[in-house]
Every structure is written in structure tokens, then in C-alpha cells.
């Protein structure tokens, strides 16, 4: 059955989930942002209010559009009530396979039959969660980039059992958000963009750890010689050194290759709790 997407549920009110929900609400979708923690939802509301008000001040959006988006956006801890009327659920919860499998199986039980279930994970490919549901044909990865309110690219990644119609509907959905879909033909952890970024990050860390150049100078080279908006170290601070650490461990779990393990300097920062912008210190300081 094909049903138009009207209502979207985003699970997980972290950095990615909250901005993804705002993007959907701004594009006109009735959107619920769900989290198990009310505190996390309160933080997400405050951050989104600041961010969207700033966009209004800077004439990037109108106050009317932002107010209309708030009218369409509900922040709630009641996942099952939200899921019961969802046409699309975007899971942006913790990067843990067993948690995601439980979420997908529970969503499958409460969502209508037509609901598409997608994961924002870039590392856990959707075939690893699709078989926890009775609708693997309506499951795929839908991967946004950080900061989701700003970044235009969204990767759409089917697993071998995803129906072509699901991919088409998700691609149209991405276009309706004003974003640009990048469609993968096959799933692979990291997809395209993060694999490209990973190659740059690995090389940058090797150069830094070998004492070839300071990390600040490596960032300057990436920006001024390659035209990247941020250098690899600035980007790690934006994405979160905890996230980079987790992604490396997840890759190691899948490949068993010691080269996949987090670099020594990442492990050190992770253990010190220096996660980047979110903790005020990573490679750089954020007063
Ligand atoms: N959330 C929302 N909007 C943000 C933002 C954030 N965290 N950070 C910046 N912006 C927006 C704001 O509109 C900001 O303007 P104001 O400060 O006036 O409000 C505007 O971007 C410009 O910000 P800055 O002047 O601070 O810096 P900038 O010009 O360098 O732009 C950037 C910031 C858009 C983040 C830009 O540096 C950029 O594109 N960086 C690369 C980001 C990137 O590569 N992302 C991919 C990460 S990998 C990933 O996401 C994969 C994954 O799986 C986690």
C-alpha cells in the first residue's frame, strides 16, 4: 500500500535527531520528536529555539515559517502514541545494535502497516535491523549530516531486501525537505561521504601523531588547499570525539581489523572526556 508521508516521528533528541525533526517540521510535516528522557527533550527545545531564532535574526528564515514549524512539532516521551499515527519513523537513537533491534521490533508492533522505518545510522546498515521487523521491504538507512539544519546532502541506502518503491518514496521525501539525496546502490558501513571523510581523518591523525605537523596547521591545509569548510580536527570536534570513538569501535567489531581501532590521540581525548564542542574542549577549546 502506498500512503503519502504526512506525519514523521524522529526517535532520539540528541544533536542529530532534534535538528532532523526541525527540518521535517520546517518542510511542513507533522513531526514528533521522541526521547525517553524529558531532560533531553527540554535541552533539545532550548537549543532549537536558540538556533531557529538566530536564523530569523539573520534573515535566513521568516518568523512565520519558524512559528508554523513549532506548531507542527511535538516533543514527547510517548513513543508508542506518536508511532501509532506515523507514516515515517526516523530512528536517531544511540549507536548500539541491540538497542536499535529492540526499537525496530517494538516500532514494527505499534506502527501502521504502511509506515516506513529508517535509521539515521551511518555505521549500522539497515539489514542488521530490518530482520527484527515484519516489514524489511520498508526499512532502509536515511543518513543526515551534522548540522542537519544546514547540510544539504542526505544519503539513502537500501539493504538487499528494501523495496525499490521504498527507496523512491524516501528519495522524494528528502527532496521535499529541500535536501539533495545521494542514492547508494548497495549498503556498506560509513556509506559514501563518511568513508571519504574517514580517509581524510585517518591521514590527518597519522600526520599529527607522527609529529609531521600541528593539528591546527593540518586544518589550515584542508581549508585553504582543499577548500573544505572545516579541517578534519575541527570536524571531529563538531561531530563529537565520543561519536568518532564509537564509530571506530563499531567498525572494528565488524572488520576485526586492528587498523579500524580508534587512533591513540582519539582514545586519549575520549578517556579524558574531551568530546569536542559539546563538552567545551576537544582538539580546540570552546569557552
Ligand atoms: N547547527 C545548526 N546550524 C549551524 C551550526 C549548528 N551546530 N553551526 C553552524 N550553523 C549554521 C548557522 O546558521 C551559522 O550561522 P550563525 O552562527 O550566524 O547562526 C552558520 O552555519 C555559519 O556558522 P559559522 O560561522 O560558525 O561557521 P561556518 O561558516 O564554518 O559554517 C558549518 C558552519 C555549516 C558547520 C560549516 O563549517 C560546514 O559545512 N562544516 C562542515 C560540516 C561537515 O562536514 N559535516 C559533516 C560531518 S560528518 C557527519 O555528519 C556524519 C555523521 O555520521 C555524524
ipTM: 0.93
- Architecture per CATH, domain 194-276, reads as Orthogonal Bundle (1.10)
Residue 127 Cβ < 6 Å to ligand 1: no
Ligand 1 atom at shortest distance from the alpha carbon of 16: 54
Q: What atom of ligand 1 comes closest to residue 54's alpha carbon?
A: 19
Of the candidate ranges 2-6, 175-179, 192-196, the one whose mean pLDDT is the lowest: 2-6
Is 1's pLDDT higher than 70? Answer: no
* Lookup: cell for 142: 536515511
Half-sphere exposure of 84 (CA within 13 A, CB side): 4
Of 39, 125, 43, 24, the C-alpha closest to 82 is: 24
Question: Could you state, in order of their start, the residue ranges of all structural domains in the chain?
Answer: 7-183, 194-276
User: Which residue is catalytic, options 121, 122, 127, 141?
Assistant: 122
pLDDT tens digits, 139-190:
999 999 999 999 999 999 999 999 999 999 999 999 999 999 999 999 998 9
In this predicted model, what pLDDT tens digit does every residue of 58-117 receive, in sequence order? 999 999 999 999 999 999 999 999 999 999 999 999 988 999 999 999 999 999 999 999
Using pLDDT thresholds of 50, 70 and 90, give the confidence band for residue 2.
low
Which pLDDT score is estimated for 99? 97
Q: What is the pLDDT of residue 53?
A: 98
Annotated binding site for NAD(+): 12-17, 35, 95, 100, 122, 146, 278
Phi, psi of 28 (to 5 degrees): 105, 0
Which three cell numbers mark 234?
575541527
Residue range 7-183, CATH number: 3.40.50.720
Distance 111 CA to ligand 1 centre (A): 34
* CA distance readout (Å), 273 to 27, 189, 282: 36, 26, 9
Question: For residue 247, what pLDDT is reported?
Answer: 86
The three cell numbers of residue 215 are 593539528
Report pLDDT digits (tens) over 240-277: 999 999 889 988 887 899 988 999 999 999 999 999 99
* The pLDDT value given to residue 123: 87
Q: What is the pLDDT of residue 35?
A: 98
Active site residue 194: yes
Residue of 181, 182, 132 whose CA lies nearest to 161:
132
* Beta-sheet strands, E only, within the chain: 7-11, 30-34, 73-76, 88-91, 116-119, 139-144, 153-158, 180-183
Q: What is the pTM of this model?
A: 0.93
Asked whether 48 lines ligand 1 (CB < 6 A), one says: no
Burial (0-12, 13-18, 19+ Cβ within 10 Å), 59:
exposed
Residue 95's pLDDT is what?
86
Amino acid at each position: 500500500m502506498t500512503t503519502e508521508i504526512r506525519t514523521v516521528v524522529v526517535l532520539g533528541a540528541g544533536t542529530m535527531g532534534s535538528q532532523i525533526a526541525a527540518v521535517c517540521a520546517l518542510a511542513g510535516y507533522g513531526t514528533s520528536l521522541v526521547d525517553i528522557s524529558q531532560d533531553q527533550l527540554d535541552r533539545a527545545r532550548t537549543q532549537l529555539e536558540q538556533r531557529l531564532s538566530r536564523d530569523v535574526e539573520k534573515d535566513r528564515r521568516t518568523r512565520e515559517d519558524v512559528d508554523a514549524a513549532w506548531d507542527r512539532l511535538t516533543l514527547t516521551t510517548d513513543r508508542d502514541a506518536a508511532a501509532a499515527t506515523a507514516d515515517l519513523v526516523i530512528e536517531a537513537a544511540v549507536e548500539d545494535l541491540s538497542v536499535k533491534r529492540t526499537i525496530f521490533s517494538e516500532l514494527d508492533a505499534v506502527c501502521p502497516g504502511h509506515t516506513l522505518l529508517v535509521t539515521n545510522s551511518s555505521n549500522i546498515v539497515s539489514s542488521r535491523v530490518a530482520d527484527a521487523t515484519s516489514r524489511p521491504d520498508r526499512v532502509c538507512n536515511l543518513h543526515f549530516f551534522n548540522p542537519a539544519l544546514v547540510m544539504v546532502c542526505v544519503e539513502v541506502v537500501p539493504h538487499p531486501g528494501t523495496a525499490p518503491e521504498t527507496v523512491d518514496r524516501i528519495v522524494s521525501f528528502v527532496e521535499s525537505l529541500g535536501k539533495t539525496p545521494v542514492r547508494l546502490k548497495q549498503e556498506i558501513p560509513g556509506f559514501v561521504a563518511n568513508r571519504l571523510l574517514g580517509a581524510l581523518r585517518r591521514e590527518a591523525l597519522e600526520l599529527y601523531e607522527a609529529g609531521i605537523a600541528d593539528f591546527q596547521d593540518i586544518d589550515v591545509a584542508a581549508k585553504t588547499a582543499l577548500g573544505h569548510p572545516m579541517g578534519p580536527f575541527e570536524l571531529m570536534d563538531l561531530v563529537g570525539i565520543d561519536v568518532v570513538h564509537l564509530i571506530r569501535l563499531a567498525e572494528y567489531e565488524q572488520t576485526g581489523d586492528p587498523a579500524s581501532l580508534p587512533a591513540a590521540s582519539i582514545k586519549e581525548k575520549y578517556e579524558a572526556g574531551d568530546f569536542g564542542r559539546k563538552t567545551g574542549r576537544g582538539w580546540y577549546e570552546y569557552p
